[in-house]
Amino acid sequence: MSSFVEPADSLTCYVCDKEKSNWSCLKSQTCDKEDKYCVTTHSTVGLGKDKEPHISKYCSPLCPETNLNIGIASFSASCCESFLCNLSGASSVKTSYTVMAAGILASLLYVLRAGL
């Protein structure tokens, strides 16, 4: 039975790789023991309507927090340290409890719909 129980100090983060929408980043993952941060990166390249966003979320032992904008390209990374805290895209705006609850509900509905 103990093999199904996660250690109390394990962090859980949303994970995705180079998605175009934050709605595509609702899969969660229990992080490795050495991972202390949930990281969200957001990058865009292009001009005007040709701008393409790329969102990635992952667990990390380090916090690569940064914000770079050179006009035709931008990159930002934000970090947090609590259960499913990287729900929203990388920005300086803190996630509200309402948005956090909506993300958790969406994750639960996804799991139930998949029949897991």
Query: 70 and 89 in contact (C-beta within 8 Å)?
Result: no
- Is residue 72 in some structural domain? yes
CA angle 49, 53, 57 (to 5 degrees): 170
pTM of the full structure:
0.68
Cα distances from 23 to residues 8, 15, 28, 48, 89, in angstroms, run: 28, 11, 13, 22, 10
CA distance 26 to 49: 26
Q: What is the pLDDT of residue 36?
A: 97
CA distance 35 to 21: 25
Q: What is the pLDDT of residue 108?
A: 74
Tokens for 61? 């032992």
- Is residue 3 in some structural domain? no
Q: Which residues of the chain register pLDDT less than 70?
A: 1-8, 89-104, 115-116
- Is residue 12 in some structural domain? yes
Domain with residue 57: its CATH number is 2.10.60.10
Q: What is the pLDDT of residue 39?
A: 97
- Is residue 98 in some structural domain? yes
Q: What is the pLDDT of residue 86?
A: 95
Tokens for 42? 């957001």
- Is residue 1 in some structural domain? no
Encode 53-74: b = buried (16+ Cβ within 10 Å), e = exposed: bebbbbbbeeeeeeeeeeeeee
Q: How many domains does the chain have?
A: 1
- Is residue 84 in some structural domain? yes
Tokens for 110? 């996804």
Q: What is the pLDDT of residue 102?
A: 64
For residue 100, what are the domain limits? 8-114
